[in-house]
């Protein structure tokens, strides 16, 4: 299990904390429904045992900032309201956390193969920069603070117009709702795209934003809708692409008739159910081929009966996302 350690300072933006935390909680809930163990343990720590949030809600019973990581830990630095001069007043809580980052997190961040991560939301990137953790790293923050981030970390490779940026064990995001996007990305990395898509659906985020990719994952394409029956089918196909998906089998998952499912798919995705199954399989086969699999291996992995069936599907779906 991974510890997701939210570092809470005075004036922490509540949505920066609650949004990602709910995403990780819902991921555990989705895993439980699939008979799988929880992947994430949520922890809340800070330089003081309590802190007032940005909206005045008091956050209490915070644990001390840990002096060691006894299991894989993702430390999350959160945002605070205000412009950079106010945020960077370097009050006692900020200074204590900065010292902790230098002492405990910097050695972890130096190893890109580490099981530990540093994640930042909004102003959290400025705190990481103040601790010297962003030197030479690709990173981002809220668009209003990009220049300030570049000044604090002059050797950092600050990325504009990015929802989030991944650089080894460092994950930075633009802030506020982008923290949810970053959490969903990390959930996908750990638990798979299909599960992350189901979490996004529960959170009523119709699609999951990528960092800046021109294409969505094949398991996330055609999911910018909120129809539960179509989502049920898409999740089932994503989880079990090799299953024999007849029209009746797909309709049984959706709890509607095959004819009605075909109408729903056309209305909400522009595809037929059969076309969607073929799209997922062809995209998965292309990914397997890019990872070095042979054509027969890629076809089998994606659920095609043989390489010829995949070649036919590839011709029909080559321009799909």
CA distance 314 to 321: 12
- Count how many domains the chain has: 2
Number of H helices, E strands in the chain: 14, 11
The whole-number average pLDDT for the span 222-243 is 85
Same domain, 140 and 241: no
- 70 assigned to some structural domain: yes
Give 200-232 pLDDT, tens digit per residue.
888 887 555 655 443 345 667 787 777 888 988
* CATH (domain of 141): 3.40.50.880
Answer whether residue 206 is part of any domain. Answer: no
Domain containing residue 241: CATH number: 1.10.10.60
Query: What pLDDT does 217 receive?
Result: 59
Q: What is the pLDDT of residue 214?
A: 34
pLDDT of residue 13: 94
Q: Verify that 177 and 261 share a domain, yes or no.
A: no
Examine the domain organization and report whether 88 and 53 are in the same domain.
yes
| Residue-wise pLDDT tens digits, 22-59 | 999 999 999 999 999 999 999 999 999 999 999 999 99
Give the whole-angstrom CA distance, residue 152 versus residue 130. 6
- Whether residue 245 lies inside any domain: the answer is yes
How does 26-63 read in b/e, with b if 16+ C-beta sit within 10 Å?
bbbebbeeeeeeebbeebbbbbeeebebbeeeebeebe
The DSSP letter of residue 145 is: G
Please say which residue of 128, 160, 193 terminates a domain: 193
pLDDT of residue 213: 41
30/124 same-domain check: yes
Q: Do residues 93 and 220 share a domain? A: no
Task: Print the domain residue range for 263.
Answer: 215-317
Going by pLDDT thresholds of 50, 70 and 90, the confidence category of residue 316 is low
Q: What is the DSSP string of 92-124?
A: HHHHHHHHHIIIIIHHHHT-TT-S-EEEEETTH
Instruction: Check residues 106 and 143 and name the one with the higher pLDDT.
Output: 106
Same domain, 158 and 233: no
Q: What is the pLDDT of residue 295?
A: 84
Query: Given this model, what pLDDT does residue 209 score?
Result: 60
Are 274 and 141 contained in the same domain?
no
Partners of 166 in the β-ladder: 171
Read off the pLDDT band of 163 (50, 70, 90): confident
Residue 198 lies in a domain: no
Give the H/E segment covering residue 74: strand 73-77
Residue 200 covered by a domain = no
Domain boundary among 193, 228, 244: 193
- As a whole number, mean pLDDT of residues 311-316 equals 70
Tell me what pLDDT residue 320 has.
Answer: 46
Tokens representing 275 are 């076309």
Identify whether residues 36 and 156 lie together within a single domain. yes
Q: Do 181 and 260 sit in the same domain of this protein?
A: no
**pLDDT: which is higher, 87 or 319:** 87
Residue 187 pLDDT exceeds 80: yes
DSSP state for residue 137 in the 8-state scheme: -
- Cα distance between residue 194 and residue 123, in whole Å: 30
- The answer on 186 and 248 residing in a single domain is no
Together in a domain, 219 and 189: no
Of 193, 224, 244, the residue at which a domain comes to its end is: 193
Q: What is the CA radius of gyration of the chain?
A: 22
Rounded CA-CA distance 298/301 in Å is: 5
Q: What is the pLDDT of residues 148-157, one digit of tens each?
A: 999 999 999 9
pLDDT tens for each residue of 270-306:
999 999 998 888 888 887 887 788 888 888 888 887 7
Average pLDDT taken over every residue of the chain? 88
Q: Is residue 27 part of a domain?
A: yes
pLDDT band at 60 (very low <50, low <70, confident <90, very high): very high
Whole-number pLDDT of residue 215: 33
| Least confident stretch, 69-73, 217-221, 247-251, 291-295 | 217-221
Dihedral of CA atoms 240, 246, 251, 254 in degrees, nearest 10, equals: 10
Residue whose C-alpha is closest to residue 60's, from 100, 10, 16: 10
Residues 221 and 307 in one domain: yes
Domain assignment present for residue 295? The answer is: yes
Is 210 a domain residue? no
């Amino acid at each position: 299990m991974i510890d997701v350690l939210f570092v809470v300072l005075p004036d922490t933006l509540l949505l920066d904390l609650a949004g990602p935390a709910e995403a990780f909680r819902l991921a555990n809930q989705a895993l439980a429904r699939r008979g799988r163990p929880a992947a994430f343990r949520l922890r809340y720590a800070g330089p003081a045992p309590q802190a007032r949030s940005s909206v005045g809600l008091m956050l209490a019973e915070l644990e001390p900032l840990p002096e060691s990581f006894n299991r894989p830990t993702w430390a999350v630095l959160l945002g605070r309201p205000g412009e950079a001069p106010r945020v960077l007043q370097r009050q006692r809580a900020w200074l204590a956390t900065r010292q902790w980052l230098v002492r405990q997190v910097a050695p972890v961040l130096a190893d890109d193969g580490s099981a530990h991560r540093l994640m930042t939301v909004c102003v959290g990137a400025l705190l990481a920069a103040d601790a010297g953790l962003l030197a030479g790293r690709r990173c981002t923050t809220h668009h209003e603070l990009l220049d300030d981030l570049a000044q604090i970390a002059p050797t950092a490779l600050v990325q504009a117009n990015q929802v989030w940026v991944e650089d080894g064990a460092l994950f930075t995001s633009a802030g506020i709702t982008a923290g949810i996007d970053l959490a969903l990305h990390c959930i996908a990395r750990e638990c798979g795209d299909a599960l992350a898509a189901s979490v996004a659906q529960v959170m009523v985020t119709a699609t999951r934003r990528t960092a800046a990719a021109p294409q969505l994952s094949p398991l996330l394409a055609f999911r910018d809708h909120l129809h539960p029956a179509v989502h049920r089918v898409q999740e089932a196909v994503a989880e079990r692409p090799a299953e024999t998906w007849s029209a009746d089998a797909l309709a049984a998952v959706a709890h509607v008739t095959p004819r009605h499912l075909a109408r729903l798919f056309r209305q909400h995705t522009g595809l037929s159910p059969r076309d969607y199954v073929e799209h997922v399989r062809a995209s998965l086969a292309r990914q397997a081929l890019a990872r070095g699999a042979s054509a027969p291996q890629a076809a089998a992995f994606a659920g095609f009966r043989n390489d010829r069936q995949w070649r036919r599907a590839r011709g029909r779906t080559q321009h799909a996302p």
